């Protein structure tokens, strides 16, 4: 039997004690670490884990607000909401978003071209808010989704309200259209006021009055189980509907003008001269805003964009045309006011006007013989206005036309209006790098050359003539109906121009000349209206080609003259002013005046009752 030495026993004892101490240290360390982690979880991270726990059982869903209606001046609904079924996703409930989107594309439930916008919206969305994938599901698409629903956790079909335009194309350029909110839209709005499920205005009234129309969303807190099924409704904050807009437009006159312009390119604008309210706002060809609001395909939208007739183009405010003879009443007024025209004097017209050192004459459309200023307006004598323009000078002409708001924005309450062009030597030098010549002045005297005006500008200028110097800012919104109080806030008229330095006798001469256009033999629109028709008007043509260059050749339709007409009625107390342009209509008499008659027959017939 072996005995351990005292030294060996001491060594083993020391080793044993060291192991005990090490074990105690490890145990203490683990206990401290556990306590620290517990403190971290209970104190510092408790809110986070409480939120995670709550989110497993409580969900807050945003509820989109109902968009306000749009009505005409007689409160006929021209934009409303209809129920549709749309496809929505809650990203937090989707395991693999990319794979899910790809499957949806393969099942033709979403458009490939919309994936980028969908992903952008997912990145910026609020927790547990739905993302719209398809704004209008067809019956076939709903059946496809139902058959494959098990593949699409976090994706569901939801009933929603979608914008509907009962008059289809008739009001399209005035109202505009709505669409699904895009990443670009989010950059221009307060994102907290949008759920991502509603539609947003894209153009015209729908866009420019978006803050009034869209309302304020509500929300719902619900208790859900682990599968996301709603077990109990906990709390509900109701949404606030958007306000209704009452427009200045007259649905009956609008439809009359639109139908009269069908199959033609151009525009019709009608304004109440007493307050600037726009009664008619037509641009043709038009488009059906329902197609765009309910989710047009990429190819369909591209087809609209590339259509050679430009149906998306708002000709009423952005189409710029040579005004032609429609500005002759203003040129005549300038000549009278400046003392260059004697209202009793006859001026010769042999069908051509000659300038010194010019090899070719400036031709008239026919030989008129001796005419005074009233007869020159009545018969649209070019030679009379060539001579008047040279006598007045381009500076006076330019300044005078701008008094009638030509060359200036009117301030209409929708965006993208064009200002037109009232040329002068400075303009030509700056824009074209060319000098001004007397021939330029001659052409401007009949509204040709570089002069351009929009149909809206011509309508405003006509209200100034009708009112003998005064006009109001043209506007489309007449009133705002508050969704909560149901009260209507009217939009007051704003004075745009007030010309007070023109002799009243000179205004009367202009009115007489424009009345003679309609009601006296030799007038350029005589015979197009009944006898003694209560209308003062002026026809016009915008020349788009050189007669010499096309001599002996058939003129292509797209190079034929535009036909124009302006007018106001009744004569003694004007209540409507019109401007009409028919692109490539050849003549204001044959193309535009008949449209004015159809509109005014309806308007004046109503005035009798």
Q: At what angle do helices 328-337 and 455-466 cross, to 10 degrees?
A: 40
Q: How far apart are CA 279 and CA 599, in angstroms?
A: 11
Q: How far apart are CA 233 and CA 144, in angstroms?
A: 30
For the question of residue 325 being annotated catalytic, the response is: yes
Q: How far apart are CA 387 and CA 390, in angstroms?
A: 5
Tell me: cis bond preceding 570? Omega within 30 of 0 counts: yes
Q: Where are the alpha helices (DSSP H) in 445-561?
A: 455-466, 504-519, 547-550
Q: Specify the length of the chain in residues.
A: 609
Q: How far apart are CA 217 and CA 190, in angstroms?
A: 12
Q: How far apart are CA 433 and CA 427, in angstroms?
A: 9
Segment (H or E) for 565:
strand 562-569
Record the tokens describing residue 531, joined without a space. Answer: 């006898």
Q: How far apart are CA 206 and CA 179, in angstroms?
A: 10
* First and final C-alpha spacing in the chain: 139
* CA atoms lying within 13 Å on the CB side of residue 286: 27
Let me know: does 165 contact 293? Beta carbons within 8 Å: yes
DSSP state of 37: H
Record the tokens describing residue 194, joined without a space. Answer: 């949008």
Question: Which of 195, 238, 246, 239 shows the shortest CA–CA distance to 66?
Answer: 239
Record the tokens describing residue 504, joined without a space. Answer: 């009243």
Give 160: exposed, middle or buried? Use CB within 10 Å, 0-12, 13-18, 19+.
Answer: buried
What are the phi and psi torsion angles at 269 (to 5°)? -125, 130
Look at the alpha carbons of 363, 369, 371, 377 in this order and tell me if their dihedral is positive or negative.
negative
Other residues' Cβ atoms within 10 Å of the Cβ of residue 556: 11
- Selected catalytic residue, list 293, 325, 471, 541: 325
Q: What is the 3-state secondary structure (H, E, C) of 202-214?
A: CCHHHHHCHHHHC
- What radius of gyration do the chain's Cα atoms show? 36
DSSP SS3 for 506: helix
Scanning the structure block, which residue is given the tokens 């710029």?
Answer: 320
* CA atoms lying within 13 Å on the CB side of residue 516: 18
What are the phi and psi torsion angles at 353 (to 5°)? -125, 135
Active site residues: 325
């Amino acid at each position: 039997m072996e005995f351990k030495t005292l030294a060996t026993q001491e060594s083993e004892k020391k080793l044993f004690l060291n192991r005990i101490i090490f074990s105690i240290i490890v145990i203490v360390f683990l206990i401290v670490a556990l306590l620290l982690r517990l403190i971290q979880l209970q104190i510092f991270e408790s809110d986070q884990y409480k939120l995670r726990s709550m989110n497993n059982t409580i969900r807050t869903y945003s509820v989109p607000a109902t968009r306000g209606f749009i009505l005409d001046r007689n409160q006929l609904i021209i934009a409303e909401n209809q129920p549709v079924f749309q496809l929505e996703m809650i990203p937090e409930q989707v395991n693999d978003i990319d794979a899910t989107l790809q499957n949806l594309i393969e099942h033709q439930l979403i458009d490939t071209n919309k994936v980028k916008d969908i992903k952008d919206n997912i990145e910026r969305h609020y927790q547990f808010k739905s993302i719209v994938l398809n704004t209008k599901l067809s019956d076939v698409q709903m059946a496809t989704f139902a058959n494959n629903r098990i593949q699409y956790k976090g994706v569901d079909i939801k009933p929603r309200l979608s914008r509907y335009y009962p008059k289809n194309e008739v009001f399209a350029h005035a109202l505009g259209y709505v669409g699904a909110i895009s990443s670009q839209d989010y950059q221009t709005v307060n994102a907290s006021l949008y759920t991502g499920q509603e539609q947003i205005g894209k153009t015209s009234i729908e866009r420019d009055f978006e803050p009034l129309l869209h309302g304020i969303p509500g929300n719902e807190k619900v208790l859900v189980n682990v599968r996301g099924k709603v077990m109990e409704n906990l709390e509900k904050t109701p949404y606030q509907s958007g306000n209704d807009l009452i427009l200045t437009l007259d649905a009956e006159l609008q439809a009359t003008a639109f139908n009269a312009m069908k199959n033609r390119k151009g525009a019709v604008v009608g304004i109440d001269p007493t307050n600037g309210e726009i009664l008619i706002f037509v641009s043709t060809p038009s488009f059906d805003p329902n197609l765009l609001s309910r989710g047009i395909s990429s190819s369909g939208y591209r087809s609209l964009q590339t259509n050679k007739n430009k149906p998306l183009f708002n000709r009423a405010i952005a189409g710029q045309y040579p005004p032609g003879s429609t500005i002759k009443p203003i040129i005549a007024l300038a000549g009278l006011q400046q003392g260059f025209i004697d209202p009793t004097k006859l001026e010769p017209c042999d069908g051509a006007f000659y300038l010194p050192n010019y090899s070719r004459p400036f031709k008239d459309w026919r030989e008129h013989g001796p005419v005074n200023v009233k007869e020159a307006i009545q018969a649209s004598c070019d030679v009379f206005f060539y001579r008047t323009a040279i006598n007045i000078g381009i500076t006076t002409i330019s300044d005078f036309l701008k008094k009638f708001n030509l060359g200036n924005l009117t301030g209409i309450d929708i965006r993208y209006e064009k200002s037109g062009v009232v040329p002068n030597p400075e303009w030509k030098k700056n824009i074209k790098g060319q000098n001004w010549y007397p021939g330029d002045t001659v052409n401007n005297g009949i509204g040709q050359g570089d002069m351009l005006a929009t149909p809206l500008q011509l309508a405003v200028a006509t209200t100034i003539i009708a009112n003998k110097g005064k006009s109001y800012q043209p506007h489309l919104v007449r009133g705002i109906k508050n969704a909560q109080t149901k009260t209507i806030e009217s939009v007051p008229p704003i004075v745009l121009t007030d010309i007070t330095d023109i002799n009243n006798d000179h205004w009367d001469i202009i009115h007489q000349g424009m009345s003679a256009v309609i009601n006296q033999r030799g007038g350029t629109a005589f015979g197009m209206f009944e006898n003694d028709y209560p209308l003062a008007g002026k026809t016009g043509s915008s020349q788009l080609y050189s007669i010499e260059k096309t001599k002996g050749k058939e003129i292509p339709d797209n190079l034929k003259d535009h036909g124009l007409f302006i007018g106001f009625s009744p004569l003694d107390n004007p209540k409507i002013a019109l401007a009409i342009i028919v692109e490539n209509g050849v003549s204001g008499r044959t193309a535009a005046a008949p449209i004015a008659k159809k509109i005014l027959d309806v308007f004046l017939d109503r005035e009798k009752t």
